[in-house]
Amino acid sequence: MNAAVAPVVVPLLTALLCVGLQARRTRWTVSLAGGGLSVLASLWLVALAHGHGVVVLRVGSWPAPYGIVFAADLLGALMSAIGSWVALWTLVALAAQPHPRLDAFFHAGWHLMLAGMNGAFLTGDLFNLYVFFEVLLVTSYFLVTLGATRRQAREAFTYVAVNIVASTILLMGVALLYAAVGSVNMADLAARIPQASPGLVRPAVFLLAVAFGVKAAVFPLYAWLPHTYAIPAGPVAAYFGGMLTKVGVYALYRLFTTLQPLHGPEPWLLAVAGLTMVLGVLGALAQEDMRRILSFHIVSQIGYMVFGLGLGTPQAWAAGIFYTLHNIAAKTALLLVSSAVEASYGTTSLRSLAGLAHAHPWLGVWFVVAALSLAGIPPLSGFWAKLLVVQAGLEAGEFAGVAVALAVSLVTLLSMLKIFTGAFWGPPPERSHISPLEHASVVGLAALTVAWGVGGGTLLELATAAARALGDPAGYVRAVLGGH
């Protein structure tokens, strides 16, 4: 099998197996093994893309741009690796949840969504990007509504409607681009957009940016997110909160590097990024619930990733990629803590929780590690992530943006302290059991932010190489189109 599709095919087959298998224990074994295999497949792809550049698969051996291609560059491979890692550990957390009746569907949904995400990260075809977006969105609709109550079903309907409209906008963007250039192959588009009529390309890029912006939940398109992420079961929310919006961020990176490369700071992207940071964090301040606070912080931190993109230099993109990878790990760890608390105490409201640090000291430790990392305290990965973004901002002379980023990270720290004093401090509660599987799931991700904090050099090297590849669209075009 070609490495470029392995991270799509493995979860797809696992999902099918999970529906077919009747015995619960066998299903769990297959599902976890499938998750582990996806991680290995995507790490293999990272190694290949790092060593040899873009890994290309021409489906059916049709020459590009006529056939469908998968083109895994280092950014796509890295995103697929972290996505598979998150899927695996949120799956471990799911094992601790009491859903025996819906079990098979949860497993299938988990792996199908991973297949959709990895497909979106690795495809070299804009229309296939739309299709893989649909695969992961349809699965997400399904996971949000599984076992829903009436209120949840109503919230889920809004989520589905918003995403259908966004997908339609995405399709229109693809159509306009096809009208302008006559291709949906990304490498072909990258090569031919400069000669196309800007009257068609500009609205097309705008439509694509809006569609990806909705998925990434940037200002002013984020209103759907905090409500949706309050609905589903804890591990589902952790999976969504960690990965779903980052697929949108990835698509924005692809759009503004490979397809329509930025050269230097792009004021409107930077403005969007700043407003996303500020409004997300302000929204979090008003909340009194662990999960809702964390949901608003997802929005706020998307701002940093878009800030890195908007600065428009490979060095800033490297910072943005580092930030994205760090944030996925830290954020998922925090949401998994919230999920464990909810499973044992039935709530994540800061008013009803207290003294968790007494009852579950280790859970408190994991929380503090991930929370400090999110706020950007050394020596955790969040510190390097913010340092890199700030450094890139200073070098580009975007002092206002840097000031906003620093102020927002102070408020983030405040928010994390609020959760800590609200839920972990105070008189010990009536002790409830927290399963070792939930501890394991949190550690699986918190360990990453510690490792990337202490040994951030490796990740920085990978992020820099990925950004360098993004800064060289001609290399991508050569790799995909080959001898043309």
Chain residues that interact with other proteins, rule: CB under 8 A: 127, 131, 134, 138, 141-142, 145, 148-150, 153-154, 156-157, 160-161, 164-165, 168, 171-172, 174-176, 178-179, 184
- Min separation Cβ 127 and other proteins, Å: 6
Q: At what angle do helices 267-285 and 399-419 cross, to 10 degrees?
A: 20
Q: Report residue 239 CA to chain centroid gap.
A: 9
Nearer to other proteins, 145 or 391 (CB): 145
CB atoms within 10 A of CB 270: 23
- Min separation Cβ 35 and other proteins, Å: 25
- Min separation Cβ 148 and other proteins, Å: 8
Nearer to other proteins, 159 or 345 (CB): 159
- Residue 373 is which amino acid? S
Nearer to other proteins, 49 or 180 (CB): 180
The HSE-up count of residue 206 (CA atoms within 13 Å, CB side) is 7
- Six-digit token string for 411: 């408020």
- Min separation Cβ 391 and other proteins, Å: 42
- Min separation Cβ 23 and other proteins, Å: 28
* Strand, coil or helix: 463: helix
Q: In DSSP terms, which residues pair with 71 in a beta bridge? A: 56
- Min separation Cβ 272 and other proteins, Å: 24
Q: Which residue has the tokens 């949906």?
A: 184
**CA dist 103 → 23, 25, 230, 282, 342 (Å):** 11, 11, 21, 37, 19
- Min separation Cβ 163 and other proteins, Å: 9
- Min separation Cβ 116 and other proteins, Å: 12
Q: Residue 464's closest CA among 347, 349, 344, 315?
A: 315
- Min separation Cβ 228 and other proteins, Å: 14
Nearer to other proteins, 134 or 266 (CB): 134
Nearer to other proteins, 13 or 200 (CB): 200
The Cα–Cα gap between 44 and 238 comes to 25
Nearer to other proteins, 24 or 202 (CB): 202
Helices (H), 245-289: 245-254, 267-285
- Min separation Cβ 71 and other proteins, Å: 19
Nearer to other proteins, 105 or 141 (CB): 141
Q: Which residue has the tokens 């503004």?
A: 256
The Cα–Cα gap between 200 and 458 comes to 42
Q: Residue 363's closest CA among 256, 290, 279, 305?
A: 290
Which DSSP letter does residue 236 get?
A: H
Nearer to other proteins, 165 or 285 (CB): 165
- Min separation Cβ 145 and other proteins, Å: 6
Using only C-alpha atoms, the chain has a radius of gyration, in whole angstroms, of: 21
Nearer to other proteins, 136 or 372 (CB): 136
Nearer to other proteins, 61 or 149 (CB): 149
Nearer to other proteins, 22 or 195 (CB): 195
Q: What is the DSSP string of 328-387?
A: HHHHHHHHHHHHHHHHHHS--BTTT---HHHH-HHHHHHHHHHHHHHHT-TTSHHHHHHH
- CB-based burial of residue 425 (10 Å sphere; 0-12 exposed, 13-18 middle, 19+ buried)? middle
